[in-house]
Amino acid sequence: MRSLKKKRRIQIIAVAVAALAASTAMIGYAMRDGISFFRSPSQLVETPPAPGETFRLGGLVEDGSVVRDAGETVSFRVTDGGASVPVRFTGVLPDLFGEGQGVVGTGRMQGDTFIASEILAKHDENYMPREVIDALKDQGVYEEPKS
């Protein structure tokens, strides 16, 4: 009789472990497109992303690099002082977007150009995303905002 209880207990534990593994795999599969890692231009040059990988690119909009095409397409370069990456975005830019300003874009690489699906700009004159500040500090070009 004890061996029957022991077998049943082992079967229940095995089924529970299999269900836990299956649910973990399903959650991971569902989240694969919802996770986008942040990269600075220098990190992007050092380790290129996998083809089709969605990620966030952040830095400063390079002075003199903004080119507005016919329609809503805008091309510009994002830099962190160590490297510069060309960006193309089709859509309406945030009001605070401008040269020399901090920006974070979400998108994918197409050749050597980052194709942004979303552009975020700082929301006041002193704010800059923490990831962008860290990337600029790593390159030694970050300056504290004047209060």
Nearest to 91 by CA among 64, 119, 112: 119
Span 20-49, average pLDDT: 85
Number of domains in the chain: 2
Looking at the domain assignment, is residue 43 inside a domain?
yes
Span 47-53, average pLDDT: 86
Average pLDDT, the chain: 84
Domain hosting 19: range is 1-35
- Answer whether residue 86 shows pLDDT above 70: yes
Looking at the domain assignment, is residue 129 inside a domain?
no
Looking at the domain assignment, is residue 128 inside a domain?
no
Q: Give the confidence band of 1 by pLDDT, cuts at 50, 70, 90.
A: low
**8 & 42 share domain:** no
**9 & 27 share domain:** yes
Q: What is the pLDDT of residue 24?
A: 93
Q: Output 70 or 27, whichever has higher pLDDT.
A: 27
Q: What is the pLDDT of residue 122?
A: 63
Separation of alpha carbons 79 and 62, rounded Å: 6
- Give percent of the chain above pLDDT 90: 29
Nearest to 143 by CA among 63, 58, 81: 81
Asked whether residue 123 is marked as a ligand-binding residue, the answer is: yes
Looking at the domain assignment, is residue 102 inside a domain?
yes
Q: Give the confidence band of 114 by pLDDT, cuts at 50, 70, 90.
A: very high
Contacts of 113 (CB under 8 A, 6+ apart): 85, 86, 87, 88
Looking at the domain assignment, is residue 146 inside a domain?
no
Looking at the domain assignment, is residue 127 inside a domain?
no
Q: What is the pTM of this model?
A: 0.65
**113 & 56 share domain:** yes
**45 & 16 share domain:** no
Q: Give the confidence band of 75 by pLDDT, cuts at 50, 70, 90.
A: very high
Looking at the domain assignment, is residue 100 inside a domain?
yes
**8 & 25 share domain:** yes
DSSP 86: E
Contacts of 99 (CB under 8 A, 6+ apart): 61, 62, 63, 64, 65, 66, 76
**20 & 80 share domain:** no
**11 & 83 share domain:** no
Cα radius of gyration rounded to whole Å, the chain: 23
Span 67-72, average pLDDT: 84
Q: What is the pLDDT of residue 9?
A: 92
**110 & 45 share domain:** yes
Residue 99 sits in a domain whose CATH number is 2.40.50.140
**22 & 54 share domain:** no
